[in-house]
Structure 1
């Protein structure tokens, strides 16, 4: 054991104890955080607009603070950008995290001096907890790669602004800088393909121990790395590779192909970071789900997903949630977000401790005929079909085909890039359809009632999704292809990339 891993081990056990204390005190910690948020919030422009000085308890908070998305707070963000202080939180934000929105264009999410530790410490705690649980701190002695956005920042209204992953890059502690890859210069390259070529060159001969990134871009890195090294598996190139850290999308559709590319067993740590906060992380290699980050400056609310577009949806606190219910996640934070709908849905797998899975996006669903099919359902169906028929999936998306050219019934079209196609595509599609019918009673009713016909699978070129993302200027970084659409915009744009 080398010096870094030796020193990390006692620190890891101390962090694990802290995490376990937080598990036991989750509801109490949430109540304390709400009071602290109110204490600071009442001094802001937002707080005065919403009479926060009169708010003492959660019931009053729920009445005073409406649920909003980015469009609902844009006018406050514009005031911050124009130089006004004490708008959503005291002073000015330390950073703006710049992110793309489907309806709002570019979004500027504030990160305050109080909230930056949520992003930095949670990432650190996820790794240290893994060390303590497994007793394996060795990855600290080797190289680590973070497939992230550029750390180059611009200024918007005098506030440093960039991708969250680029901002976080500035907080890598000095003792890990020598372990970090790629180089700062390479990380600053904006063009993803140029950047990835450089990353492959820089890392091929290194002692890589940890790799972190969004699964589809991690897979692209593995493919290029293998191609540059005579087709070798990743574990042949990096025999000491210990752990993969992933987030951003559901890992299951990518797992089989990633593990095949690796050519050997590697531990995984799932995380749930976003520009609005680092919400949860995998705290156990044995238990399913992500531990909700209940003591890190964020007060969580949960709205049953079926009610999110209702005029008066139920808003629940942590103590009121139930197992198996699909909830829209609402955050209130010490970055100045209030009643903020981040657009993700979650489901609780455990209430002691509070562990969740991310089930999809509120705006990413298919309900062209009232079926309301969500990401969790299609990803489950794809996993079952792929396992049954020996298929390896690179990427897929699903869209409704409302008007057919031959006058037949409408259907769901699954656009799928295969690394290894099923022997029988028709049987594969049948399994997809049958599994989805089992998961979604509304979809089943529509087929039984002859409103829809069974789904159709359209094989795509292996690089179809890469080419599509390149065509819209969103290749690499933290960009993701929506799993579901309620229209044909993505499906039609991908037509040129059919196999």
Structure 2
């Protein structure tokens, strides 16, 4: 009975708010910006840029510079060291430590009480309301939600201050969950926040083996590892035999397409549902609110003001982002946010495209520094993951992880032409690697006209070179980088060969 009452209570407020987001997105963004500026007017940043003068959105865009993490870091470091009222009122005690996928260093993002309550927790309630509204017959809240996250440690800038902590954003959220949300999840915090990843997987698998798990929440790559271990411990053929009421997977951090077939194998039958979330260290941005569409509803009243930088300005020294009202369908934009954690006109590094303007729905397409464009082909992560999924379907393969980078070949006539080299770790390898590479190439040409033009008659781009790496290669490489587990993930596409060469060198150690 408790689960039905909780589902009803959450649905009343969240579903009404989500309806308002769909119908009044522009107005909500305007009010969000006004609230942010009003709250931060007495901070150092607010005084520097005249937030107390009640600037309009146009004034705000003219006064405040667009900042990368590196450009904002001097202020962020002061916050990390305990300074108050720098970017946001007060002194945050928690910091989300990102995997640093845009560059090699880790990033520390403030997580204020407002960011937790108005952002992460509000979005979590929204997702809970949607899930129970879309699938009421499954009684998801009558069982447990198995969430797989990271860990946290003392703030390295203030190691002697026990109230200041830093860690994976999932760990920051779990460590401060309200009591009612903690009652719904498993495993215990003691296990969920373990730092040693191999130990964590083993102990969690044994802990949840006999529980009534009905919902999964986490990153597909790591959830696969846990599900396989639970299945093995139970001596079962698939996870549905262990958890017969399992019905929903809330997934994020990586595109789900390449993993869809594997999850169908792990959880066979038509009863399983999948919904995507888009959250990051910087905030909770969007959710999949339609089960029959992979488009994500942009959350416009969660304490984040959005701007969007067109692709032709990603390298500009004077970027001019667009407000929400000026975006267009189908274009690639870099995401720029101003938040209730004190990030002002902050370049997240993610790229999106709009699939709907009424309401505002998006798809994640990649990252501003994670794409292949060594030869004018402009392949983004969305293209790569779609092509890998198509090649997997065509050849019966299942991809575990991958990375790709440019490579140069010498043609027979002595002229140089470009190509792409892919290091792929398969859970189920294709019987014919050449057929997989051909299918990958065909689908890339289908979804990307620039790539197709370069591939025409093999004149500018050679066919892709696919390298199979042994199982465990990427996991071992991540461990060597200190990035095993949690939301850490492999850089997918880079115009540098640094990661690819390191992965290939790692794979040689398995031989």
- TM-score, normalization by structure 2: 0.92
1:443-495 per-residue CA deviation (whole Å, 9 max, x = no partner) reads: 33333372331111111212222222222221111100111121122211122
Aligned counterparts of 1:314 and 1:272: Cα–Cα separation in 2: 25
Match runs of 1:116-127 below 5 Å: 116-117=116-117, 118-127=119-128
Q: 2 CA distance for matches of 1:442 and 1:3?
A: 55
| Residue 72 of structure 1, CA deviation | 0.9
Over the aligned positions, Cα root-mean-square deviation in angstroms equals 2.2
Given the superposition, is the C-alpha separation of residues 136 and 64 from structure 1 closer, same or farther in structure 2, using an over 3 Å criterion? farther
Q: Identify the residue that residue 436 of structure 1 maps to in structure 2.
A: 444
Partner of 1:402, secondary structure, is strand
Kept after mapping to 2: 8 A contact 1:8/1:137: no
Q: Which among 182, 198, 202 is matched to residue 197 of structure 1?
A: 202
Where in structure 2 are the equivalents of 1:254-293 lying within 5 Å? 254-265=259-270, 266-293=272-299
Q: Which residue does the alignment assign to 1:114?
A: 114
1:477 aligns with 2:486: yes
Aligned length: 498
In the alignment, is the contact (CA less than 8 A) between 1:247 and 1:273 conserved in 2? yes
Shift of 1:409: 4.4
Q: Distance in 2 between matches of 1:104 and 1:257?
A: 31
Which region of structure 1 is more displaced relative to structure 2, 427-436 or 241-250?
427-436
Would the aligned equivalents of 2:147 and 2:218 in 1 still touch at CA under 8 Å?
yes
Distance 1:154 1:42 in 2: 27
What runs of 5+ residues in structure 2 fail to find an aligned partner?
none
Q: In 2, distance between residues paired with 1:163 and 1:96?
A: 9
**Partners of 1:346 and 1:98 in 2: CA distance:** 23
Aligned pairs (5 A) from 1:80-479: 80-101=79-100, 102-103=102-103, 105-117=105-117, 118-136=119-137, 138-150=139-151, 153-154=154-155, 156-157=157-158, 158=161, 159-265=164-270, 266-402=272-408, 409-448=417-456, 450-479=459-488
Taking the aligned partners of 1:167 and 1:153, their CA distance within structure 2 comes to 12
Deviation of the 1:320 alpha carbon: 1.1
Corresponding residue of 1:27: 26
Of 39-48 and 5-14, more deviation after overlay is shown by: 5-14
TM-score normalised according to structure 1 size: 0.94
* Cα drift, residue 149 of structure 1: 1.0
Question: 1: distance between equivalents of 2:410 and 2:96?
Answer: 42
Answer whether contact 2:423 2:469 (CA < 8 A) is retained. Answer: yes
Q: Deviations over 1:29-77 (max 9, x none)?
A: 1011111222233321112223434562111111111111100111101
Please say if residues 14 and 125 of structure 2, whose CA atoms lie closer than 8 Å, have aligned partners that are also in contact: no
Provide the C-alpha distance between the structure 1 equivalents of 2:181 and 2:301, rounded to a whole number of angstroms: 26
Decide whether the 8 Å contact of 2:66 with 2:319 is kept in 1.
Answer: no
CA distance in 1, matches of 2:445, 2:203: 45
> How far off its partner does 1:326 sit?
0.9
Q: For the Cα contact (< 8 Å) 1:151–1:166, is it kept in 2?
A: yes
